[in-house]
DNA sequence: GTGGTCTAGACCACT
DNA sequence: GTGGTCTAGACCACG
């Protein structure tokens, strides 16, 4: 798993980490049952404070993407298959679609890009 | 224009306001050239401090969605037609698609929802 | 004299007007003793409020660029030949030179542009 | 870094601060990568409200002169080397040159002063 | 009446 | 301890 942080971004580091892990799971680079690095290891590798890494892991746990298994450490679990879109994601998607529309893109153009990005993220 | 704020959300109020104005423009409820409420009027209506409203307007100005004409106040301008998706939006969309995929939704399901939300937001 | 205003600029309209008149005098498009349009005429032409035009004229009067002559109206006078640079202009020039330097331009480049702009403005 | 404000000036305090920081960077008193004082420290030192200082920092950030690294605070970055003069600076310089010309200064005199001020500001 | 500026003081999120 | 957010309330410059 390759991680890459923007320390100048307005997005908090723990969220950047969470986001990247989610994308990695989606892309199959991290598979269900697979172990994630320990908090400490990931902190050392990436130059991020371990408190920050811990916060990201807690968030992912809470959202059901990972669990902490007593024997094998932190593993991908995917314990959150709702098969539906939640309200926040729906709002975020509406906002994105509005922005793309207002940038002048056509409906077809937007849907094509959505398909392209979907393919990048589901392999 | 109907505005509705979540005072408990982690999203800053000025961003919530910005987002809602963008969606309103996209939906055609605010048309190019149309005047927005004055900073103070909007502040009074919504119960938000005028500095916070002002910050939202400045952000929208900077992003090219609105301009302030020294004679006639603040109007919708759409001075930012790039016809392309920028990097941040692309990242945000990838993350959303990952999350939807991991929630168990099929590709078709995701694309259908995208089309439905697009229709809600472009009228 | 061609005037052109940016109603969305942070620079007040009366200052934009003042600045343009000064450049026109410098370029010789308005000569010493020559009459300026009446406040009303200029206001009508340019779509600017006459109070605003009046304010620009007052400023120019105060700075010695023009005088109001009882018989001939407002004329260019140039009653302010100090032969020196004042403190504000010096500060403004230092700031500009800093900005140009920090944009990566070389000394020669900056001096060349200064000469070019001087030629544009003194004819 | 020595700061000095004119509380009676029409130039907003946050701009005065921005301007002085730019000159300090240009003069090498603040070097690329060097940390700036925290918002609060600068506010305390200078007697200016921290919101006002924050506004100056945000402006400098937006213009690419500084960045805030989430780990190490605010540092000089110079992420805006265009190697060219932008339109606003060009207009401002033309106006300044007009004013100097109309004050009776010769071309040589003006160019000499430009060189002198350049030397003050680039060390 | 409009937006812009500024302050004092409070609270929060992030590292 | 850092920057970011928010408020209430005041004043000013502009048109």
Q: How does pLDDT run across D62-120, given as a tens digit for each residue?
A: 999 999 998 888 999 988 899 999 999 999 999 999 999 999 999 999 999 999 999 99
* Strand boundaries in B21-97, DSSP class E: 66-69, 73-76
**Percent of chain C residues past pLDDT 90, beyond the cut:** 89
Record: contact D68-A12, CB cut-off 8 A: no
Residues 6+ apart with CB under 8 A from A70: none
Record: contact C103-D90, CB cut-off 8 A: no
From chain B, the residues in CB contact with A93 under 8 A are 96, 113-114, 117
Residues having Cβ less than 7 A from any atom in strand F:
B 12-15, 47-52, 55, 70-71; C 12-15, 49, 51-52, 55; D 10, 38-41, 50-51, 54, 57-58, 68, 73-74
DSSP letter for C29, please.
Answer: S
Residue of C nearest to D103 (CA): C81
Residue matched to tokens 């106040």 = B73
Cα–Cα distance measured from residue B2 to residue A116, given in angstroms and rounded to the nearest whole number: 34
State which nucleotides on strand E lie below 7 Å from a protein beta carbon: 1-10, 13-15
C109-118 mean pLDDT: 98
What is the pLDDT at residue B2?
A: 87
Angle of CA points C63, C68, C74, to nearest 5°: 95
| Ordered alpha helix ranges (H), A1-123 | 13-26, 39-46, 50-62, 87-102, 107-121
Confidence of residue A112 (pLDDT cuts 50, 70, 90): very high
Give which of A1, A5, A44, A38 is closest to A23, Cα–Cα. Answer: A1
What count of Cα atoms within 13 Å lies in the side-chain half-sphere of residue A123?
A: 12
Record: contact B98-A65, CB cut-off 8 A: no
Confidence of residue C23 (pLDDT cuts 50, 70, 90): very high
Give which of B42, B91, B101 is closest to B66, Cα–Cα. Answer: B42
- Give phi and psi for B68, each to the nearest 5: -110, 115
CB atoms within 10 A of CB D120: 15
DSSP letter for A38, please.
Answer: P
More confident: C71 or C99: C99
Strand partners, D66: D76
Helix-strand-coil split of chain D, %, nearest 5: 55, 5, 40
What is the pLDDT at residue D123?
A: 86
Query: Residue C93 pLDDT > 90, yes or no?
Result: yes
Query: Residue A24 pLDDT > 90, yes or no?
Result: yes
Please name the helix (run of DSSP H) or strand (run of DSSP E) that holds residue B32, with its range, or none. Answer: none
Greatest C-alpha distance within chain A? 53
Rg of chain C over Cα atoms, rounded to whole angstroms, equals: 16
Q: How far apart are the first and last CA of chain A?
A: 15
Record: contact A8-D71, CB cut-off 8 A: no
Query: Residue C6 pLDDT > 90, yes or no?
Result: yes
What is the pLDDT at residue A70?
A: 84
A55-70 mean pLDDT: 94
Query: Residue C52 pLDDT > 90, yes or no?
Result: yes
What is the mean pLDDT, run by run of 10 residues, along chain B of 123 residues?
92 96 96 94 94 96 94 90 95 98 96 98 93
**Contact assessment for residue C117 and residue D94, using Cβ atoms and an 8 Å cutoff:** yes
Cα–Cα distance measured from residue B61 to residue B82, given in angstroms and rounded to the nearest whole number: 16
Residues 6+ apart with CB under 8 A from D97: C26, C114, C117, C118, C121, C122, D110
What is the pLDDT at residue D49?
A: 96
pTM for this structure?
A: 0.94
Q: How far apart are the first and last CA of chain C?
A: 15
Query: Residue D26 pLDDT > 90, yes or no?
Result: yes
Query: Residue A80 pLDDT > 90, yes or no?
Result: no
Query: Residue A72 pLDDT > 90, yes or no?
Result: no
Q: Chain centroid to CA C71: how far?
A: 25
Residues 6+ apart with CB under 8 A from C88: none
Cα–Cα distance measured from residue C93 to residue C91, given in angstroms and rounded to the nearest whole number: 5
Interface of B with C in 54-73 (CB under 8 A): 67-71
Confidence of residue C123 (pLDDT cuts 50, 70, 90): confident
Chains with 3 or more CB pairs under 8 A to chain C: B, D
C64-85 mean pLDDT: 91
Query: Residue C119 pLDDT > 90, yes or no?
Result: yes
Q: Name the token pair of A39.
A: 């908090």
Averaged pLDDT score across all residues of chain C: 95
Q: Which contacts qualify for D63-69: CB closer than 8 Å, 24 or more apart?
A: D65/C102, D65/D21, D65/D22, D65/D25, D66/D21, D66/D36, D67/A8, D68/A8, D69/A7, D69/A8
Select the residue of A26, A90, A120 nearest B117 (Cβ to Cβ).
Answer: A90
What is the pLDDT at residue B121?
A: 97
What is the pLDDT at residue A67?
A: 95
Cα–Cα distance measured from residue B57 to residue B70, given in angstroms and rounded to the nearest whole number: 15
């Amino acid at each position: 798993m390759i991680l890459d942080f923007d320390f100048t971004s307005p997005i908090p580091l723990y969220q950047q980490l969470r986001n990247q892990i989610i994308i990695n799971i989606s892309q199959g680079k991290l598979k269900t049952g697979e172990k994630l690095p320990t908090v400490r290891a990931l902190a050392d590798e990436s130059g991020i404070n371990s408190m920050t890494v811990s916060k990201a892991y807690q968030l992912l746990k809470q959202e059901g993407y990972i669990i902490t298994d007593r024997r094998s450490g932190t593993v991908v679990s995917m314990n959150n298959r709702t098969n539906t879109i939640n309200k926040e994601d729906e709002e975020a998607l509406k906002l994105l679609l509005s922005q793309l529309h207002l940038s002048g893109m056509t409906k077809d153009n937007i849907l094509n890009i959505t398909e392209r990005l979907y393919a990048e993220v589901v392999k």
